[in-house]
Homo-oligomer: A and B are copies of this chain.
């Protein structure tokens, strides 16, 4: 069955009119028309919560239908607000800690997606919808132009002011030490006590294992780790964990 162009248009107008004058059809049609976008957003919201609460478990890429949702979450302001609230709770807690004068009251920070943002890489690679490309990622790291986050700068500076000893613990390799130091300073971070990077002996270890071992060493040296801030659960779990851990939102990738 074929229609001429004008009869198609007439049919379309009659059909549209039928839909509009029938309240039952029109409300169903309206919800049908709205459904796809809102149900994708709703699913992606559920998925993001499941990822943030570590329910998803190991995952490699975000659900493909959520690329736009995650892009909007990151760029639209809600991510910044979410991080800001985390920073506020961290500062509130830090103020309750009795910091001694011996420099042994420590706070651990992860670097990537915690103090520095590799958003340049994620913008160019589908906000986590494309598989991780270590070569392209390291190109961004080696540029040393990663911006800091307003929230982490605020938290970092508040902790320094309160007298905490700052320990930076990153999955970045030793080879990235100098570019990392310069990038951190350019972004506004200063006065950390040590910067721990992955050495020869740490290759092949999971982040949880490597970071737990490093924290354990720090504790053996007499430090108390009051707080720990990271965007991955592998920054925060394992052993020698901090008294309080603060999970920075990151719906773009998962590191075991």
A positions within 8 Å CB-CB of B: 42-43, 45-47, 49-50, 52-57, 77-78, 81-82, 84-86, 89-90, 93, 244-247, 249
CB distance from A40 to the nearest CB of B (A): 12
Shortest CB-to-CB span from A248 to chain B, Å, is 9
Are B244 and A81 in contact, CB atoms less than 8 angstroms apart? no
Q: Which residue from chain B places its CB closest to the CB of A246 in the assembled complex?
A: B55
Residues of B within 8 A of A89 (CB): 50, 55-57
Cα(A205)–Cα(B54), bound, Å? 26
Would you call A52 and B49 a contact (CB within 8 A)?
Answer: yes
Question: Which of B42, B54, B86 touches A247 (beta carbons < 8 Å)?
Answer: B54
Question: In the assembled complex, which residues on chain B have CB atoms less than 8 Å from the CB atom of A90?
Answer: 55
Can you list 20 A-B pairs with a CB-CB distance of less than 8 A? Answer: A42-B81, A43-B81, A43-B85, A45-B78, A45-B81, A45-B82, A46-B81, A46-B82, A47-B85, A52-B52, A53-B53, A53-B249, A54-B245, A55-B86, A55-B89, A55-B90, A55-B247, A57-B89, A57-B93, A57-B244
Q: How far is the CB of A181 from chain B (nearest CB, A)?
A: 28
Closest to A90 in B: B55
* Closest chain B residue, CB of each to CB of A45: B78
Nearest-CB residue, chain B, relative to A53: B247
Of chain B, the residue at the smallest CB distance from A83 is B46
| Contact A78:B249 (CB < 8 A) given known A47-B85, A57-B93, A89-B56 | no
Residues of B within 8 A of A52 (CB): 49, 52-53
Chain B residues whose CB sits within 8 angstroms of the CB of A47 once the complex forms? 85
Residues A85 and B246 in contact, CB atoms below 8 Å apart: no
CA distance A84 to B47 in the complex (A): 10
